[in-house]
């Protein structure tokens, strides 16, 4: 065989081998591409499925929460409804008054009584009760920012802003109890710009907050757990002290009777956590029958027993450190912010400590010193003197429904009269 023939055969074999290898490689590549494509499709399907499941689950949870009125109940509903009312408040033609604070404000200030008495003096005033149970100064700060923004946008001012400083709402104990609902209320009350500032500091938390706001309707997983936990397993009251069975039975009977009288006297009432028509508070004695007012007297007699008051005192000590008053610095700073926010939009600002039921609540000596220091801190930072109404003689221990809150038609009316006397000349 000639060398040329041999070389040609080698070349042919080499070419064939190369072509086979190329085909094999192409087939392998195509197979890999196909595998990758299939993997991608499977991954995409999995992501879509998971996403749909999450959306369905969240939709179901939200539907259940809405059907149970979770967003309309308690402080969450009260905050939501009071915010929705701001547009009407800002547009009100009368001089505006706002009393801002805790559940003690909610129980202790009667705006309709306030406005009614001022009207008799020829003054046109619309006052509003912005008291919220369990809403500590951290959350109150963000809500006051929204109020301030709404007033500034419409170039409106409050004629008078009364801001309550509640010492036991500003303690470390109170802050720790609020932690499960922090994110829910933050997304409800904070602007997107404020949430973005959180995100820049903590990306993971920022993503979580935006998810709660826009995917969960401001209801965090912790709040869902808390809500369903309360519904299915109502928290047991720490009743260290017991009333007699007769007193308990009478308390329940009178409570049912008062509910019946309310339905009878207000047949068209639409349930609301915060009612614009009622200025964020409740009824006034002039609207109730003599029979109803008498039932209230009987009800308080079996409600304000020594056993009930002792139990409530212990509860306040456990939940709010009400006597020792170990303050949380963060909450003090946020309270200072609240005052400064209202100073921007108010002709007159008053910072107030509400009456205290000294028969049942008494600060320790250490607690008094800590309170004095915090009061001095707030006054220095805001330039405001805090009006201490804790021991005014007008309000007596019989005017409280528990150890901290003033009672309907007794304490609230008496204290509102006191506020009229103190601040009516500013209006």
pLDDT at 412: 97
Q: Which residue has the tokens 């801002």?
A: 100
Question: What is the distance, to the nearest Å, from the Cα of residue 395 to the centroid of all Cα atoms in its chain?
Answer: 28
pLDDT at 313: 95
Dihedral angle sign, alpha carbons of residues 274, 225, 134, 146 = negative
Global pTM? 0.81
Q: Which residue has the tokens 């604070």?
A: 101
Which parts of the chain sit beneath pLDDT 70?
Answer: 1-74, 218-238
Contacts of 187 (CB under 8 A, 6+ apart): 195, 209, 210, 212, 213, 218, 220
First to last CA, the chain: 123
Q: How far is CA 36 from CA 31, 42, 66, 172, in A?
A: 9, 10, 44, 55
DSSP 8-state secondary structure symbol assigned to residue 11: H
The crossing angle, in degrees rounded to 10, of helices 411-423 and 111-120 is 50
What are 134-170's pLDDT values in tens digits?
Answer: 889 999 999 999 999 999 999 999 999 999 999 999 9
The domain limits of the chain are: 1-67, 78-174+306-426
Task: Give 78-174+306-426's CATH code, choosing from 3.40.50.1110, 3.30.930.10, 1.20.1730.10, 3.40.50.2000.
Answer: 3.40.50.1110
pLDDT at 25: 55
Contacts of 5 (CB under 8 A, 6+ apart): none
The whole-angstrom separation of Cα 53 and Cα 387 is: 55
Query: Do 141 and 170 meet the contact criterion of CB atoms below 8 Å apart?
Result: no
The whole-angstrom separation of Cα 408 and Cα 397 is: 14
pLDDT at 18: 52
Residue 422 half-sphere exposure toward CB, CA atoms < 13 A? 18
Contacts of 227 (CB under 8 A, 6+ apart): 65, 68, 70
pLDDT at 73: 46
Q: What does the block give as tokens for 193?
A: 């710009």
Nearest to 206 by CA among 194, 218, 198, 217: 198
The whole-angstrom separation of Cα 193 and Cα 190 is: 8
Q: How far is CA 54 from CA 57, 58, 312, 320, in A?
A: 5, 6, 42, 37
DSSP 8-state secondary structure symbol assigned to residue 158: B
What are 359-383's pLDDT values in tens digits?
Answer: 999 999 999 999 999 999 999 999 9
pLDDT at 74: 55
DSSP-derived pairing of the beta strands 125-132 and 95-102: parallel
pLDDT at 39: 59
Q: Which residue has the tokens 């907050």?
A: 209
Q: How far is CA 90 from CA 84, 176, 299, 419, in A?
A: 11, 35, 38, 23
Neighbours of 78 (CB within 10 A): 24
Nearest to 383 by CA among 323, 340, 333: 340
- HEC per residue, 280-312: CCCCCHHHCCHHHHHHHHHHHHHHCCHHHHHHH
Residue 32 burial (10 A CB sphere; 0-12, 13-18, 19+): exposed
């Amino acid at each position: 065989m000639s060398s040329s023939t041999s070389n040609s055969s080698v070349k042919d074999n080499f070419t064939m081998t190369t072509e086979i290898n190329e085909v094999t490689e192409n087939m392998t590549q195509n197979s890999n591409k196909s595998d990758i494509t299939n993997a991608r499709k499977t991954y995409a399907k999995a992501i879509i499925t998971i996403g749909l499941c999450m959306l369905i689950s969240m939709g179901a949870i939200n539907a259940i929460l809405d059907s149970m009125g979770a967003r309309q109940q308690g402080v969450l509903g009260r905050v939501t409804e009071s915010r929705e009312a701001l547009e009407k408040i800002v547009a009100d033609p009368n001089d505006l008054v706002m009393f801002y604070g805790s559940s003690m404000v909610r129980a202790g200030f009667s705006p309709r009584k306030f406005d009614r008495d001022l009207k008799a003096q020829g003054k046109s005033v619309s006052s509003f009760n912005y008291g919220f149970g369990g809403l500590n100064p951290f959350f109150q700060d963000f809500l006051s920012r929204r109020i301030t923004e709404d007033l500034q946008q419409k170039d409106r001012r409050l004629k008078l802003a009364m801001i309550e400083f509640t010492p036991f709402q500003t303690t470390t104990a109170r802050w720790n109890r609020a932690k499960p609902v922090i994110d829910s209320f933050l997304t409800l009350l904070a602007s997107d710009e404020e949430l973005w500032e959180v995100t820049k500091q903590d990306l993971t938390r920022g993503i979580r907050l935006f998810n709660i706001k826009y995917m969960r309707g401001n209801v965090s997983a912790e709040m869902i757990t808390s809500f369903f936990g309360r519904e299915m397993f109502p928290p047991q009251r720490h009743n260290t002290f017991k009333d007699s069975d007769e007193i308990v039975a009478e308390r329940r009977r009178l409570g049912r009777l008062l509910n019946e009288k309310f339905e009878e006297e207000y047949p068209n009432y639409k349930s609301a956590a915060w009612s614009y028509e009622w200025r964020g508070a409740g009824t006034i004695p002039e609207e109730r029958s003599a029979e109803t007012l008498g039932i209230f007297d009987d009800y308080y007699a079996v409600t304000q027993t020594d056993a009930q008051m002792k139990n409530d005192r212990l509860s306040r000590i456990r939940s709010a450190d009400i006597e020792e008053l170990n303050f949380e610095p963060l909450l003090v700073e946020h309270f200072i912010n609240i005052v400064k926010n209202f100073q921007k939009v108010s002709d007159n600002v008053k910072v107030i400590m509400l009456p205290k039921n000294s028969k049942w609540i008494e600060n320790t000596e250490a607690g008094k010193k800590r309170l004095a220091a915090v009061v001095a801190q707030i006054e220095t930072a805001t330039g405001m003197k805090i009006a201490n109404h804790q021991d005014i003689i007008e309000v007596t221990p019989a005017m409280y429904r528990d150890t901290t809150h003033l009672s309907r038609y007794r304490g609230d009316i008496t204290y509102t009269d006191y506020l009229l006397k103190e601040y009516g000349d500013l209006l």
